[in-house]
Amino acid sequence: MYSKSDFFKSFLVGLLVILAGPTLLSGQEALSLEQAINIGLTNNFQIRLSRAAVAIAENNDDWALAGKFPEVELSVSSGNNYASTDNPASVVTQSSVIANGITPGITANWLLYNGSRVEYTKNQLSRQVDLSNEQLRVQIQNTMQAIIQAYNGALVQRERIDVLAEVLQLSRDRIRYQEARQEFGQASTFDLLQAEDAYLNDSTTYLIQVNAYDNALRSLQLAMGVTTPQNYTLTDALTPDVNNYSFADLEQQMLQNNPEVKASQVSIQLAEINTRIQAASRLPQISLSAGGNYNVNVSTGSQTFNFGGMPNEQNLPGVAARTLRGFVNLTASYNLWDGGLRQRRIETANLQEIQSQLQYSGLEQRLQIELANTLATYENQQKLVAITGNLVDNARRNLDIAEERFRGGLVNSFDYRSIQLSYINATQSRLNAILNLKNTETELQRLTGGLLR
């Protein structure tokens, strides 16, 4: 007959296979945090779009688009005409003429002066490159933060597996201990059932945690932009590095390096340039145009001349007529009245400049508050990591002592189980504290632009 003890032995063997499964899998790929970031920066679509925007802005940053150089146009036109005339009152009473001509020409137009709007426009294009680069830095920073947090989150889930595996081993040893005691009549079926229930509960918790770790790895791959599932093995360790930060130093770094701040500063510069461009529209415009064309025209046909009532028809010889024309013109223009259109545009540009200044001030204030709150949270979490570390040490010693006393019969199974759960809770609290500390430090680095250095 298949006894409950035999069932548990089979269950133990099966669970051991499950526990060993992750270590026996082939084709695992080692993945460090730096490698994860590099993969993510390559795959992220928002970063790729931002890089394309930078390339477009760099391509547009050219004097030709600003209007500095002259425009030279080459043209060729042909003229083909037929004319039939019947006029008795004229000397040429009748004519039938076919004219074929071709006129090549070249024209050059050069804007000599338009109130320095060419220089302003070129400066505007250069600032657009700066703005696109800062927007790219924002995307890179956000992607790095997401990958770092996902990687640390997966490390925490892996550490939880190790803790639960340790507790599961203790529960397994407890079953063996109770089985040995039962053989000698020192333990009852009730004691064995309590040990088996604890083991089943720990097994359930362990398997749930394995699934949580798998989900964390999938979340990491999503942050990395990896579409094909990969079997990664995380190589970095979860270490609670503690750093002492000064708010004044962090604030200075934030104002100097934060890409959002720098992008807002570029927006202010663009608004100032736009105001200058609109103000320059009040100034006169001077342009130079030069060119020339060469016309070749051949006429064939017949004409009838009437002198004294004696009509005389003659054929045209088809001789080519050639004409060369050239010109150089200087044009100066000034808009006297446009219904106040230029003034409205200048006023709008001034208002947009004020708006960009206000947006920068609001951003600076918001980031300063975020920095202060994040630093305060980080300092508090440092204390929590230290406290939970001591809590884990105490729980570990308490568990070791309880195990010895349990084997000596000084602690019952309920108290021993309670101490086991306290150890699990303490380790989970410490892991959560470390994760929160790491995530908060990553947020500090994001605010100060430290992720990009």
Q: Which pLDDT score, from 0 to 100, does residue 27 have?
A: 57
Residue 34 or residue 18, greater confidence: 34
Q: What is the pLDDT of residue 186?
A: 60
Amino acid at 206: Y
Per-residue pLDDT averaged across 130-151, rounded?
95
Q: How sure is the predictor about 74, in pLDDT bands with cuts at 50, 70 and 90?
A: very high
pLDDT tens digits along 221-254: 999 998 888 889 999 988 887 789 999 999 999 9
Model pTM score: 0.81
Domain 52-69+116-159+228-283+339-452 sits in CATH at 1.20.1600.10
Confirm or reject CATH 4.10.240 for domain 71-113+285-333, answering yes or no: no
> Is pLDDT above 70 for 166?
yes
Confidence of residue 60 (pLDDT cuts 50, 70, 90): very high
Mind spelling out the 3-state secondary structure of the chain? CCCHHHHHHHHHHHHHHHHHHHHHCCCCEEECHHHHHHHHHHHCHHHHHHHHHHHHHHHHCCHHHHCCCCEEEEEEEEEEEEEEEECCCCCEEEEEEEEEEEEEEEEEEEEEECCCHHHHHHHHHHHHHHHHHHHHHHHHHHHHHHHHHHHHHHHHHHHHHHHHHHHHHHHHHHHHHHHHHHHCCCCCHHHHHHHHHHHHHHHHHHHHHHHHHHHHHHHHHHHHCCCCCCCEEECCCCCCCCCCCCHHHHHHHHHHHCHHHHHHHHHHHHHHHHHHHHHHCCCCEEEEEEEEEEEEEEEEEEEEEEECCEEEEEECCCCEEEEEEEEEEEEEECCCCCCCHHHHHHHHHHHHHHHHHHHHHHHHHHHHHHHHHHHHHHHHHHHHHHHHHHHHHHHHHHHHHHHHHHHCCCCCHHHHHHHHHHHHHHHHHHHHHHHHHHHHHHHHHHHCCHHHC
Question: Which segment of 170-179, 192-201, 413-422 scores lowest on mean pLDDT?
Answer: 170-179
Choose the weakest-confidence range: 168-182, 224-238, 339-353.
Answer: 168-182
Q: In sequence order, what are the beta bridge partners of 106?
A: 74, 292
Greater confidence, 396 or 351? Answer: 351
Write down the domain spans for the chain: 52-69+116-159+228-283+339-452, 71-113+285-333
Q: What is the pLDDT of residue 95?
A: 76
User: One-letter amino acid identity for 172?
Assistant: R
Distance separating alpha carbons of residues 223 and 34, to the nearest angstrom: 14
**Predicted confidence band of residue 49 (pLDDT cuts 50, 70, 90):** very high
Q: Is the pLDDT of residue 296 over 80?
A: yes
pLDDT level of residue 2 (50, 70, 90 thresholds): very low
